[in-house]
Structures are given as C-alpha cells and as structure tokens.
Amino acid sequence: MQTAPTSGDDESAESPVPLATMPLRSSRASGLATLKQTGNGRWHDWRWQMSNRIRTAAQLQKFIPALADTSEFEKVIAKYPMAITPYYASLIREANLSDPVFQMAVPQTRELWDPPFLAEDPLEEEEDMPVRGLVHRYPDRALLIATTTCATYCRHCTRKRVAGTRECSISAARMQAVTAYLADHPEITDVIISGGDPLTMSTAAIEHILSSLRSVPSIEVIRIGTRAPVTLPQRITDELVAVLRRYQPVWVNTHFNHPNELTEEAGNACARLVDAGIPVSNQTVLLRGINDNPQLMEQLCRGLVRMRVRPYYLFQCDLVRGVEHLRTPLSRGIEIMEYLRGRLSGLAIPTFVVDAPHGGGKIPVLPSYIVTTSPTHTVLRNFEGMLINYPDPVIAPEPSKCHLRMSAAPGVWELAVGKTSMIVPENTHRHSRRDGRATERLSRSGDPI
Ligand SMILES: *Cc1c(COP(=O)(O)O)cnc(C)c1O
Ligand code: SF4
C-alpha cells in the first residue's frame, strides 16, 4: 500500500542544523588524520590520553585547522571548559555541525544563549544532598559525585555546573562523612559512583571509594556511571577490571549516544568489563541534530547489544543552562519509542525518561498502548496499529500473599490499590482554606454548628 509522504518522512522538511557559529574555512578535519601518530606509541595509554586532551582553542586549531576565528570560542570555554581526548577527537569525521562527535565535544557559542526557564541545577540535586557530594533522592539508592573531572567534557552535560569547572576528586574526609551517612541509612542498598567521570581517577582512588562503600554492610549493589568506554576506552585496563571485580556486584553504566562511537576500541573496553562479570548498560541522551532520529537510534541500540551492552535509559535532555541548542521536543522521544517497539527486541529498547525539574526524579514516558478499558476488557493496540481485546479473568484474583516490608510513604501505587485515598498537593488554595477551618473548629470547643 502506498502512503502519502508526511512531513516526518521528508528530510528536507526538518529544521536545518543551525549555522555554525564558528567560521570554518573548510569542513575537513584534516589535522585528525595525523592524530594517532602524535602518541609516539602511547596512544593506548590512558594517562597519555588524559594529559594530551585538547583544552584550548589553539590546541583545537592544530587538529582542526578549519577553525578560524576563535575569539567567541574563548568566551564559551571560560564558562564551560573544553577537554577532548585525542582518541575521541579522532572520531570526528567532518569538522562541522553535521558531525555528531564534533557537536558533542566542540564548544559552540550557542551554549551562552539561555532562555529563562533553564537552571544550572534543574534536577535540584544540591537540595537533595544530606552530605556534600551525596545525592539521596530515592528511598533505596544514592548517587555519589566522586570527581568533577571527565576525559571529554560533553557539551550536553547535565552537570555542567560541576563537570570541569574545577578538576578535583572527593577527599578522604568527605568520603568518610559519606560512608557514615550510608551506614546510618541502611535503607540505601544501591550507590552510584558518578561525577564527573569516576574512571578518570587513579585506580587506587577508585579502590578507596569501593572499599569504603563495601565497608557498609547494607550496600548491596555498586554502580559506576562513566563515559570512559566512549571517550577514553584505554582506561578499561586489566588492572582496573581486576579491582572492580573484587567489589562485586558492580555494574557499569556508560553513555554512548551515536553509532560513530561504537568503535573497535570501545567494543574491546566493554568486552573486558563484561568478560569479568561486570554487566554494562547504557544511558543515551536524546540530542537535537545528533541522534534524534528513529532509524539512527535503532542502529545505536542494535550496535550496543552486539557489544553486550544493554540499552537502559534514553534521556530527554534536561532543562540545564548551556544545553538548550541540543534539546528536542518531548514528542521526538515518544516518536522514537513508537518506532523502536516491534522493530527491535525488547532487550535492545531503552526506557525513555524525563528527569523531572524540581527534583521530581525520572519519569518514564511512552506512547499509549491502551486504547480503552471496561470492567471486563482492555483494548490494546500493537505497533502496527492492530486493535486487540484483552479479556480480564472472570473472577479477579487477590494478589499473591507476601509478608515482606512495604515502604512507608504513599505514592500513586497506594492510590491504585486503595491503601491511600488521596494525595493532596501542598501549595493549593485548598490547603490554606482547610487549615484555617480546622483551627477555627478546634477553637470552638467541639460545637459543630
Ligand atoms: C538516576 C538517579 C538514580 C538511579 O536511578 P535508577 O532509576 O535506579 O537508575 C539515583 N539517584 C539519583 C539522584 C539519580 O539521578
Ligand atoms: S562524561 Fe558525563 S559528567 Fe562528564 S561531561 Fe560527559 S555527561 Fe557530563
């Protein structure tokens, strides 16, 4: 059957990639071809990669001679630092905004353009820090900001307020305070070591953090959030893997955004982790003009699974200052999810989430598969648009019995099962109105009229 082309099918109807704000003499990244020879054999040494990061406009110009005037550029990196490992720079194929790696790594003056609804810390992480460096938002897990250093500073970073502004790591004293808090809160069973990029730290420093966490018996799972497999795959050394292995269960969550990042080096880095029994999953950020395309996302997810990396989250870009030019409408993510389901194994499909402003946490967003319901049937639709009636059992069963402890604070689930009858927002007129009346009633000594 022929279908009429819609605007979504028509590449030319897409809004064009905004014009480069840096004047480019030509688009070829001619300096990059010689990058690999610059290592004098140390290309595969992660410390060499770290100390030879591209950090200044002059250094960048050496590798990308096409960059001409860099005065504007200086202003951007004064606010949001630049660092690009030679390895990651070598993945740039065209030195212009059509190139995904270029866009993710090379600063743009558009980073200085912020609409008023953006914030430095839209997730309000600073409000959820009981001790400095530890974000405790969800009942059972916490996130440790272990360092502010990354191998490459992603232009789309959600922690632009932290990453690269200084390059420092958590002190032993602070780690002690964090450990004490965790020991005091046995409900926390899962700690995510994040940053910055924790794998930019020395293996000894990483081991210190791991052993501190493991000294708290209530911690079951340790996760490491790192972009090292993407921007510094040389970091995944046998020595590091051996250390991680000693503190099992350790999960690694990495951050591939584009198929161009799925190189042999990256694949080997992930393989070293997975072969050692360290599961690797991936968080992608949906980025305008970089990966906001259903077919491209399919290719990325397939590539990840081939590398034994499980696509975990697809993030809507946060409302963070300096990233607005990379943000897509929410509908683009939903459209991508619509495309993936049915075409791709569930194993390869990430959960699309919005990390809500004001510290609301991660909210999954999906196309709706429920068309309608009645007390006896649910009408579902599949990815092809087929409608199916799903009959409920004639006798609704009680849920299976279980005597495990339930969390105390009510949420929407408690509403759904009738354990709570309402959740009332705090700042509505209703609240002040009712509060006033309650006080009045009490002061009238129990007389109802
Ligand atoms: C994302 C996040 C977590 C982990 O969430 P998961 O859904 O378990 O991956 C924990 N704490 C904070 C503050 C987070 O932002
Ligand atoms: S590696 Fe992570 S923390 Fe560092 S700049 Fe990239 S997104 Fe931000």
Measured on CA atoms in the order 265, 271, 274, 280, is the torsion positive or negative? positive
Is the pLDDT at 29 greater than 80, yes or no?
Answer: no
Question: How many folded domains does the chain comprise?
Answer: 3
Q: Give the position, in ligand 1's atom list, of the atom nearest the Cα of 136.
A: 13
Which pLDDT score is estimated for 113? 87
Query: Which positions are catalytic?
Result: 137-138, 141, 150, 154, 157, 159, 318, 355, 362
Reduce the secondary structure of 146-182 to three states and give it as a string: CECCCCCCCCCCCCCCCECCECCECCHHHHHHHHHHH
Report the C-alpha gap between 129 and 136 in whole angstroms. Answer: 6
Question: Residue 99: which domain range?
Answer: 2-109
Q: Which CATH number characterizes residue 138's domain?
A: 3.20.20.70
In a domain, 308, yes or no: yes
The residues, ordered by sequence, that sit 6+ positions from 356 with a Cβ below 8 Å of its Cβ are 123, 362, 363
Same domain flag for 165 and 279: yes
Residues 79 and 172 in one domain: no
* Whole-angstrom distance, CA of residue 45 vs CA of residue 129: 36
Residue linked to tokens 């390895």: 87
- Residues 27 and 70 grouped into a single domain: yes
Res. 323: pLDDT tops 70: yes
Residue with more model confidence, 117 or 179 = 179
Nearest to 226 by CA among 252, 204, 189: 252
- Pick the more confident residue, 360 or 330: 330
For ligand 2, atom 6, the nearest C-alpha belongs to 154
Asked whether residue 424 falls in the same domain as residue 389, the answer is: yes
> What's the mean per-residue pLDDT of the chain?
88
Q: Tokens for 66, please give them.
A: 């096409």
Ligand 2 atom index nearest CA of 231:
1
Closest of 295, 18, 291, 307 to residue 156, by C-alpha: 291
> CB of 89 within 8 A of CB of 62?
no
What was the pLDDT predicted at 409?
80
Is residue 260 one of the residues assigned to a domain?
A: yes
- The answer to whether residues 156 and 295 belong to one domain is yes
Phi, psi of 283 (to 5 degrees): -115, 120
Closest to 57 measured CA to CA, from 23, 34, 93? 23
Count of beta carbons in the 10 Å neighbourhood of residue 429:
7
Q: Is 388 left (phi over 0), alpha (psi -120 to 50) or beta?
A: beta
Query: 312 with 258, same domain?
Result: yes
For ligand 2, pick from 149, 153, 286 the residue to mutate: most ligand atoms within 8 Å of CB.
153
359 with 375, same domain?
no
Q: Are residues 355 and 430 in the same domain?
A: no
- Which two three-digit tokens encode residue 298? 């399919």
339 lines ligand 1 (CB under 6 A): no
pLDDT at 142: 97
Hey, which of 82, 159, 257 would you mutate to test ligand 2's pocket, going by the most ligand atoms within 8 Å of its Cβ?
A: 159
Q: Are the beta carbons of 107 and 56 closer than 8 angstroms?
A: no
pLDDT higher than threshold 90 for residue 238: yes
Please give the distance, rounded to the nearest whole angstrom, from the Cα atom of residue 125 to the centre of ligand 2.
16
Looking at the fold, whether 202 and 59 belong to one and the same domain comes out as no
In this model, does residue 39 exceed pLDDT 80? Answer: no
Say whether pLDDT at 6 is over 60: no
Q: Are residues 86 and 229 both part of a single domain?
A: no
Instruction: Give me the percent of the chain exceeding a pLDDT of 70.
Output: 87
Please choose, from the candidates 304, 324, 325, the residue with its C-alpha nearest in 3D space to the C-alpha of residue 314. Answer: 304
Which ligand does the CA of 256 lie closest to? 2
Q: Are the C-beta atoms of residues 155 and 327 closer than 8 Å to each other?
A: no
For residue 104 the two structure tokens come to 């993710």
pTM of the model: 0.88
**70 shares a domain with 23:** yes
In a domain, 120, yes or no: no
In a domain, 447, yes or no: no
Look at residue 23 and give its three-state secondary structure: coil
